[in-house]
Every structure is written in C-alpha cells, then in structure tokens.
Amino acid sequence: MNFCSHCGSAQLAFKVPEGDNRPRYICSDCGAIHYSNPKIVTGCLPIWEGRVLLAKRAIEPRKGYWNVPSGYMENGETVEQGAAREVREETLARVENLTLHTVFSIPHISQVYIHFLAELASPDFGIGEESLEVRLFTEAETPWKEIAFTSSVFSLKHYFEDRRKGRREVHTGKMEWRS
C-alpha cells in the first residue's frame, strides 16, 4: 500500500494498532487503519432432478475446467444474492430455495468459499460470458479430473454423499498449504 485510500497521504506505517494484535497499514496523517481481510467467494450448486449444473470456465484461472458457478461477492449483496447472481451470470439459469451447503477456507490465499444448494427454477440454462459450456451431470457423469477448484470438488462430493445417505448437512473444510 503506497497511499491512504481515505485521505491520499503517502505517510503510511505498517504496525500493530493500539488494541489490536496484527500489523496493519495506518495513515500517519488522518489515522485511518487499513484492514486487509479475506475475500468471500460465493456460489451455488444448482440441482435439477438429482443432477448438478456445472459451467466450464472461459476465463483464467483454470480456463477449460468445470466449476460450481461461483465468484467474488459484490458490495451491497448477501451471500445468497451473490450466489444466485453468479449462477445467472455463468449459466443464464435462475435458482430458488437456496440452502447453505459448504464453507471452505483457503487461508494461504485469504479466501473463504460459501456454496449453497439450490433448485433450478426451470431446466432453462445457457452459456454465460464466463463459460464455454454448461451442462447437467449425474454423479457418474461428473468430470472429476476436470474440476477447476478444490472447493468445487469438496461441494460436489458432499452433495452426492448426502444424497446417497438421504440427508442434507452443512459441511466445513479447509485447504492446507503444502510447501
């Protein structure tokens, strides 16, 4: 950080603010404390007749791989609104009855993924701007080796396992950093 986003000053110090326990950028001119917090990625696993709707990514990272429709939250929206928006942007589909499914933390890149399960409002879907292909999959048809992200694999595996066991649970997990 080179300038204070509050007042524009270049007088920033990286230190632990009084009453805190982590170093932050603090503006020496206006006193603003600049927090750097994890990004929330929200998404939704749309379901139609037991099949899941996945999108093949048209953008990096992991272009050409399949993914649970997901993306960064926008200011002013709830995680549910963000998840429904991401489905609409990537698959042109509408979802309803969203329920929390997974919370997956990736601490080494400061991201938290929140995935919901939802019903497709109808079997109408298409290819959004960020997608190359959109398709419904059964568990057996899921292209497991072509899934873009660990968070998507986590959500998919838990959905299919819960479905086999006739339950719906919320699952939490994390990706450990291996150097």
| CATH T-level topology, domain 39-174 | Nucleoside Triphosphate Pyrophosphohydrolase (3.90.79)
Q: Does the bond joining 61 to the residue before it have cis omega, within 30 degrees of 0?
A: yes
Nearest alpha-carbon partner for 6 in 33, 24, 43: 33
Per-residue confidence (pLDDT) for residue 176, from 0 to 100:
85
pLDDT tens for the chain, 179 residues long, are 999 999 999 999 999 999 999 999 999 999 999 999 999 999 999 999 999 999 999 999 999 999 999 999 999 999 999 999 999 999 999 999 999 999 999 999 999 999 999 999 999 999 999 999 999 999 999 999 999 999 999 999 999 999 999 999 999 999 987 76
**Helix (H), strand (E), coil (C) string for 37-78:** CCEEEEEEEEEECCEEEEEEECCCCCCCCEECCEEECCCCCC
**Domain locations in the chain as residue ranges:** 1-36, 39-174
For domain 1-36, give the CATH number. Answer: 2.20.70.10
Per-residue confidence (pLDDT) for residue 179, from 0 to 100:
63
- Give the residue ranges of DSSP H helices in 71-136: 79-91
> What's this model's pTM, rounded to 2 decimal places?
0.90
Per-residue confidence (pLDDT) for residue 177, from 0 to 100:
79
Q: Cα dist. 91→48, 66, 134 in Å?
A: 13, 12, 6
